[in-house]
Amino acid sequence: MKHIYLLIIVATLAVSCSGEKKNSVESAIESGNLETIRKKRVELVEDQQAITDKIKRLDEKIKTLDTTKNVPLITTFKAETEVFNHVLELQGNVTTKNLLTITPEYNGILTNVYVKEGQKVSKGQTLAKIDDGGLSQQLAQLKIQTELAKTTYERQQRLWEQNIGSEIDFLQSKSTYESQQESVNQMNKEIAKTTIKAPFSGTIDDIITEQGNVVAAGQSPLMRIVNLNDMYIETEVPERYVSDVTRGKNVNVTIPVLGKTIETKIRQAGDFINPDNRTFKIEVEIPNKDNSIKPNLTARLKINDYTNEEALLIPQSVVSENSEGEQYVYVVTEKGTDGIGTAKRIIIKTGKTQGDIIEVLNGLEAGVEIIQEGARSVRDGQSVEVLKIDESNAS
């Protein structure tokens, strides 16, 4: 401001002087005398040079006296303690242990399919039948042979109890009967493989093979059954979180396709670290009362792995790092009523980050005025001016 006032005074004097000499200039011009005009011009040039020299001297003096010149303008904020809930963000897929593509245990023609797509079935319910290829007839013959062996055995047993007959005949009849029984049991097991039953209660999601087709044991998919009551999300967590991501931790689950957000917990955390990618698996339970959540949907997980009830949080943009790897921020000290203060560099130790904020573990105290805008351009010990922001306009 001093500089501006001084320029106004000098300009006023110059105008005043030019006014006084105006008539002399006009007189010289009107005289038409070349010598007179040249003389007047020389006088004016000398006056102009004298004024320029005086302005220059005044500027130099202002530069030494005005301490606010070239002081950078900055903005600041005061960091206060607050609750900091750090979350680990992961992505996983919805799945269920009750999802199965049923394949046959017996080779043959699929003679009957007793269910339809979308039908609810109970555990043990018969779903389909495969032609047994004559096993039923073989079983009938075995049963007849078994009955004969049983009769022979019972007779030999009665004779042996009466001390009639030889022991070898009794033992042979017993062995024959037991062998026949085992053959019947084995045949029943083989025939049972021709009947496809539901392994658990659920819904028939898809009929893959229609009746009349030839199917191969363990290879031909017959149908898919699913139960949506026991849904969960499975994902892999980096090993560095093994002590923070544990069973019972709160999880915020978002399923983008459904626009649904669910608050749930980790129901299982793996104890095995995969050596290939250094991760461990977790399972997050998903309630699904309305059956809207389907297997293989993509889900986003936010796991609360860390909480600090009195955390000091600052923007990451104000944190710098020196050549020794130390992190630091600038604070304002000795600030006067005119907003002029001194920038001071403070070494800090930081913790976890979340978005664009970072946790300060030590080096700063709550209420300290931290430089925000201009933090990258100030120097330690430099004078700075804190810009006053009109909060009413800012809001």
Average pLDDT over residues 258-263: 92
133: left (phi over 0), alpha (psi -120 to 50) or beta: left
Q: Are 153 and 177 in contact (CB under 8 A)?
A: yes
pLDDT at position 122: 92
**pLDDT at position 395 over 80:** no
pTM summary value:
0.56
**pLDDT at position 230 over 70:** yes
CA distance 309 to 311: 6
Average pLDDT over residues 289-314: 90
Please count the helices (runs of H) and the strands (runs of E) in the chain.
5, 22
Instruction: Provide the residue type at 58 as one letter.
Output: L
pLDDT tens figures, 84-119: 988 899 999 999 888 899 999 999 999 999 999 989
**pLDDT at position 16 over 60:** no
Tokens of 178: 């037991």
- pLDDT above 90 covers what percent of the chain? 42
Q: Are 55 and 10 in contact (CB under 8 A)?
A: yes
Tokens of 238: 């980096």
Q: Are 170 and 159 in contact (CB under 8 A)?
A: yes
Confidence of residue 253 (pLDDT cuts 50, 70, 90): very high
Average pLDDT over residues 259-277: 92
**How is domain 73-84+309-394 classified at the architecture level of CATH?**
Beta Barrel (2.40)
Task: Please state at what angle helix 2-31 crosses helix 34-65, rounded to 10 degrees.
Answer: 180
Helices (H), the chain: 2-31, 34-65, 135-161, 167-192, 391-394
Task: Please state at what angle helix 167-192 crosses helix 135-161, rounded to 10 degrees.
Answer: 160
**pLDDT at position 36 over 60:** yes
pLDDT at position 392: 44
**pLDDT at position 390 over 70:** no
**pLDDT at position 7 over 50:** no
- The topology (CATH level 3) of 89-97+226-305 is Elongation Factor Tu (Ef-tu); domain 3 (2.40.30)
Higher per-residue confidence, 315 vs 33: 315
- The topology (CATH level 3) of 132-193 is Helix Hairpins (1.10.287)
